[in-house]
Amino acid sequence: MPAAPFRPVEVRCTFLGTGQLEADGVVEVTGRGPHSLDLKLSPTGQENEMAWIELTRTDPRDPVRDIDCRKAGTPASVRFDPEFVNFVSGFGVLRFMDWQRTNDNLRLTWSQRALPQTSSQSGPAGASVEDMVDLANTVHADAWFTLPFHADEAYVRSFAQLVHQRLDPGSRVYVELGNEVWNDMFDATKDAEREGLARGLGEGNATRAAMERYAERVTETMRIWTQVFADRPGALVRVAATQNANAGLARMILGFRDTADWVDALATAPYVWMDMDAYHAGDTDRVFAAMPAAIEKSLDMAGEQREIAAQYGKRYITYEAGQHLVTPDMALARAVQRDPRMGQAYARYLTEWRDRFGDTMMLYASTAPISEYGSWGLREYGGQPIAEAPKYQAVHRFLEASH
């Protein structure tokens, strides 16, 4: 199923001061005034394409400042794009891992965090805590935060206090340390291994040392959140995350010292996976013929994780989920992701999760293009019509039926 072309977006940038802005990338200037710049964004869906504005002239006596770019016609008082708010409305939990740039594994202090007035909400510090909480409040969703693996006590406590103060009292907050600290493709995992071995953990086994160090840090982090949320403990869900395909890691984490006492839920990512090297362009029918078995395999492994969680009296949930079909064959990737049968596969996946597990399932991710590194988005671009996004269409129908 070919997707319709990406739709151009009209953007107006306003600013104070005296000077000039220009634009480059997949954008053209359509008009300008003394304190404004009108643009038309024309994305094509290609990898790594960008659009940006440049300050080419400014008056030191009256410098250009307060630059504000937004869809044409959007009031200046609106913080979030109304289309985006509409898109995320209906989801029960929003996980902000990418907004927090958790996988960068940076060592930021609380004073270095992004603020709502920071010029970029996609810089090294990610988005501001205020914006993440406010978005959750706006759509009446619970918030899920992934704290940096190396966050110090001051960062963790200040983060928790701000969330406690700002999050709607009737909402819950899920707290996770890092992202996939079991996955050695991430720097945090390598750090956990080095630190664990240096601290004499794991009895010399690198994997066990990494998991025990992770468990140590989870305990330290969750102690702080528990203290901050002492007045409403039911609003706090403390998460330990592990690999869906390796039940032994969950036992290492929950069985380490008193870690289980500081955790409410065990989470994995039961992705629907198959070896895409065995398929090529034109094999779409074969891919979907194999999909039901792939779904069953993933959820069967999830069942093992649930049993471990139950042994410790914990919930079993997912921190990520969805299809995990990665191929460098872009013709195959586009054909599979845009096929209506992908929506049918998601409907089956969600229904089986509900019937077999019935707890929180986080889907990764909201919006992302199809690429050789994976096709993670429920939709390919912001504003994509739901009729052209089979994954999102299936999820939307499931949520509507569930309410």
DSSP codes joined into one string, 96-149: -TTTTTGGG-----GGGS--TTSS-SSSTT-S-HHHHHHHHHHTT-EEEEEE-T
Q: Does 380 have pLDDT greater than 60?
A: yes
Find the helix or strand (DSSP H, E) in which 170 lies.
Answer: none
Predicted confidence (pLDDT) per residue in 324-352, tens digit: 999 999 999 999 999 999 999 999 999 99
Under 8 Å between Cβ of 291 and 272: yes
Q: Are 168 and 140 in contact (CB under 8 A)?
A: yes
Per-residue pLDDT band at 189 (split at 50, 70, 90): very high
Place of tokens 């984490």: 253
Residue 238, burial from CB neighbour count under 10 angstroms (0-12, 13-18, 19+): buried
Q: How far is CA 10 from CA 42, 119, 365, 398, in A?
A: 9, 21, 25, 32
Q: What is the pLDDT of residue 3?
A: 55
C-alpha span between 39 and 60 (Å, rounded): 26
Please enumerate in sequence order all residues whose Cβ is within 8 A of that of 247, keeping only pairs 6 or more positions apart, or say none: 301, 304, 305, 308
This prediction's pTM: 0.95
Hey, which residues does 175 pair with through a beta bridge? 145, 238
Residue 52 is predicted with a pLDDT of 94
**What is the rounded distance in angstroms from the CA atom of residue 212 to the CA atom of residue 197?**
10
Q: What are the residue ranges spanned by the domains of the chain?
A: 9-71, 82-402
Predicted confidence (pLDDT) at residue 273 exceeds the cutoff of 80: yes
What would the 3-class secondary structure string for 334-386 be? HHHHCCHHHHHHHHHHHHHHHHHCCCCCCCCCCECCCECCECCCCECCCCCCH
Residue pLDDT, tens place only, 211-257: 999 999 999 999 999 999 999 999 999 999 999 999 999 999 999 99
Give residue 140's region: left, alpha or beta (phi > 0; psi -120 to 50): left
Closest among 123, 126, 129, 128 to 98, alpha carbons compared: 126
Tokens 């008082």 belong to which residue? Answer: 77
H-assigned helices in 229-363: 247-254, 284-311, 330-337, 340-356
Band (48; pLDDT cuts 50, 70, 90) = confident
Burial-class residue 277 by CB neighbours within 10 Å (0-12, 13-18, 19+): exposed
Residues 6+ apart with CB under 8 A from 15: 21, 35, 36, 37, 64, 65, 66, 67, 68
In sequence order, what are the residues at sequence separation of 6 or more whose Cβ sits closer than 8 angstroms to the Cβ of residue 374? 324, 325, 326
Q: What sign has the CA pseudo-torsion 93, 99, 101, 106? A: negative
Q: What six digits make up the tokens of 206? A: 């690198």
- Cα separation of 290 and 284, whole Å? 10
CA distance 199 to 125: 29
Residue 5 has pLDDT above 80, yes or no: no
pLDDT value, residue 4: 54
282-331: pLDDT as tens digits: 999 999 999 999 999 999 999 999 999 999 999 999 999 999 999 999 99
> What are the C-alpha distances in Å from 87 to residues 5, 163, 271, 378?
20, 23, 23, 11
The answer to whether 96 touches 159, Cβ cutoff 8 Å, is no
Q: Radius of gyration (Cα) for the chain, nearest Å?
A: 23
| Domain 82-402, CATH | 3.20.20.80
